[in-house]
Amino acid sequence: MESLALLLDRHYEEMVSIRRYLHANPELSFQEVHTPKFIANFHRELGLEVREGVGGRGVVATLRGAKPGKTVALRADFDALPIQEENDLPYKSKVDGVMHACGHDGHTATLLILAKALHQMREAISGNIVFIHQFAEEVLPGGAKPMIEDGCLDGVDVIFGTHLWAPTPLGEIHVRKGAIMAAPDMFEAVIHGTGGHGAEPHHAVDSVVLGAQYVNQLQTIVSRRISPLKHAVITVGQFEAGTAYNVIAEKAVIRGTVRTFEEDVRNRIERELEALLKSVCEGANAAYEFTYTRGYPPVVNHPEETDFLADAAKRVPDVAAVKECEPFMIGEDFSYYLQKVPGTFFITGAKHPDWETAYPHHHPRFNFDERAMLIAAKTMGLATLQYLEKYHK
């Protein structure tokens, strides 16, 4: 029987073809219709057990080995982003204002071809492999939680997942024990002042001035309220106010994001943001509204499974280096899977060696070296086979 690596090499062109098809036909979070059907049909043609509509729009396929054993889950997401693509590619998005700008098309193609290769090795597999194809990773409340509630992890002993990462060089695998990605929360502060003529500010309560004070002062929360030994980020992304240049705005709306790893830091920042808003507004006789929306929990990798994945990665010929990475302040709802079963989420480098600039994720010119999909498949696949062999009943 051919090795997993050779099988994946043989199917690489098909992997690329799938990725490019998905890239050209993206679907937004919670609006995925054709993508899950495509995924389900692919697995069904392989002869796997397939469940559609898991948690809403998810797809779960199960490969049962010829012998009994443990169960490994592998996860990929498949939603796109509301971004107009600016790449000039033969497989450029055909959908106006929608683009795979985060690599989810590559995640899906990786998992589909890995399933095909592993199915061809079925007679040598002891145990089961569950392929979780998740919808709506990009938008709260995300697809992971409802899929888990609908049983996608039932009977699963361990889970592995990866993110193709364009800024990281091709051939590198980055791992981290413990927290690797942050909790991404959102907040909205609405300031209600009193509108008026721009020439008579003394007859008004200027919401823009109060909003500016709030934006400036909230930057001190991290620097003066949170221990310098802790990680935290507060970013204001939106400031909306006013209808004309000579009119004092009655209302200002400020929206931003908070990124943390620890629950006590998360709680403290939420309290401080509202307390600061209250003090700014009360001092000027303005009213306010404050809303804090909690996003996904931090992604916290299990130490033993992280070491296991790292050891497997070192045995993949295409992997040039396995490194421990710094934590990322981005969010990922893979965190919910890791709250239920042991596992690890790792980074697969996807920057082409000839690219001077790798456009960041969520950029209209985002792209990645497609060979990273093959490395991701070989790494997850080898970790899966070694895990099933090690814990063979």
Annotated binding residue 138: yes
Q: Exactly one of 137, 185, 250, 318 is catalytic; name it.
A: 137
Domain boundary (293, 320, 350) is at 293
**Residue showing tokens 């985002």:** 366
Domain identity same for 74 and 109: yes
Domain match, 281 and 191 both: yes
| CATH number of the domain residue 106 falls in | 3.40.630.10
**Residue that is last in its domain, among 267, 293, 319:** 293
**Arithmetic mean of pLDDT, 285-299:** 98
% of the chain residues with pLDDT over 70: 99
Quick check: 189 pLDDT over 60? Answer: yes
207 shares its domain with 174: no
**Number of domains observed in the structure of the chain:** 2
pLDDT surpassing 70 at residue 1 = no
Smallest Cα–Cα separation from 385: which of 63, 164, 16, 49?
63
Question: Would you state the pLDDT for residue 356?
Answer: 86
Question: Of 255, 246, 256, which is closest to residue 206 (Cα–Cα)?
Answer: 246
CA nearest to 108, candidates 26, 22, 45 = 22
Average pLDDT of 364-370?
98
CB 139 within 8 A of CB 146: no
Looking at the chain, the whole-number percentage of residues with pLDDT higher than 90 is 97
Query: 165 and 94 in one domain?
Result: yes
| HSE-CB of 276 using CA atoms within 13 angstroms | 22
**Same-domain status, 177 and 207:** no
The reply to whether 270 belongs to the active site is no
Average pLDDT, the chain: 97
pLDDT at 27: 98
Indicate if 79 belongs to the active site.
yes
Q: What is the pLDDT of residue 357?
A: 84
The answer on 288 and 154 residing in a single domain is no
Question: Residue 221: is its pLDDT beyond 70?
Answer: yes
| Residue 102, annotated as binding a ligand | yes
Domain endpoint, select from 293, 312, 343: 293
The yes-or-no verdict on residue 20 having pLDDT over 60 is yes
The pair of structure tokens assigned to 115 is 């399933």
Active-site choice (79, 172, 206, 272): 79
Judgement on whether residues 264 and 374 belong to the same structural domain of the protein: no
Q: Are residues 71 and 213 in the same domain?
A: no
**pLDDT exceeds 90 at position 393:** no
Peptide bond before residue 82 is cis, with ω within 30 degrees of 0: no
Supply the pTM of this predicted model: 0.94
> How confident is residue 21, by pLDDT bands cut at 50, 70 and 90?
very high
Identify the CATH number of the domain in which residue 232 sits: 3.30.70.360
Q: Annotated binding residue at 163?
A: yes
* Mean pLDDT value across residues 103-116: 98
Same domain, 189 and 328: no
What's the whole-number mean pLDDT along residues 248-255?
98
Does the annotation place 362 within a ligand binding site? yes
160 and 277, same domain (yes or no): no
Rounded to an integer, what distance in angstroms lies between the CA atom of residue 42 and that of residue 110?
Answer: 13
- 246 with 193, same domain: the answer is yes
In this model, does residue 168 exceed pLDDT 80?
A: yes
| Claim to verify: residue 18 and residue 128 sit in the same structural domain | yes
pLDDT at 392: 78
Residue 202 sits in which domain range? 183-293
